[in-house]
Amino acid sequence: MADIADDTAGVIVRPPIAWGLAVLAGFALHWLMPLPFLLPAGWLGAIVFAAALALVAWAISTMTRAGSNVPTNLPTTTIVEAGPYRFTRNPIYLGMVLGLIGLAIAFNSLWLLVTLVPFALVIRYGVIAREEAYLERKFGDVYRRYRARVRRWL
């Protein structure tokens, strides 16, 4: 009998954990040694963060309605091509990146932008690359056609 772990992408870290660590590290560094980079623009950061949150919520609800699993430690059951998945193959991760940018702007913290770099690298190479290989193995031509039509990010 196959284990559920055999039918997953085998990502190196759960994305919400990676995002939370990036946010915590950014705030900790900002607390220890503040590095402002803009004039205060909390309202703009709040708008960017709210838009990011809305994108993540839209993507999660779209995937759930399609009957697939959102957590990376569960099997993907279908290729979702509706909602935000028409424009980007990774709307949840895009939302996470935009959320970090929104927080950086809202709190005027260069450190939050700095932590965006390792976060984005981990997501791109430790999560997305593994997910793409998994989806191609599992769904073959269906995934390859989707991948040819829709960009990874935007």
Confidence band, pLDDT 50/70/90 cuts, at residue 80: very high
Confidence band, pLDDT 50/70/90 cuts, at residue 40: confident
82-108: average pLDDT = 97
Q: Residue 9 phi/psi, 5° resolution?
A: -75, -15
pTM exceeds cut of 0.85: yes
Query: Which residues, at least 6 apart from 75, have a Cβ–Cβ distance to it below 8 Å?
Result: 4, 7, 8, 69
112-119: average pLDDT = 97
Q: With the C-alpha atoms ordered 69, 134, 56, 102, is the resulting torsion angle positive or negative?
A: positive
Q: What is the pLDDT of residues 140-154, one digit of tens each?
A: 999 999 999 999 998
Domain boundaries, the chain: 14-149
Tokens found for residue 67: 């009957």
**pLDDT beyond 60 at 51:** yes
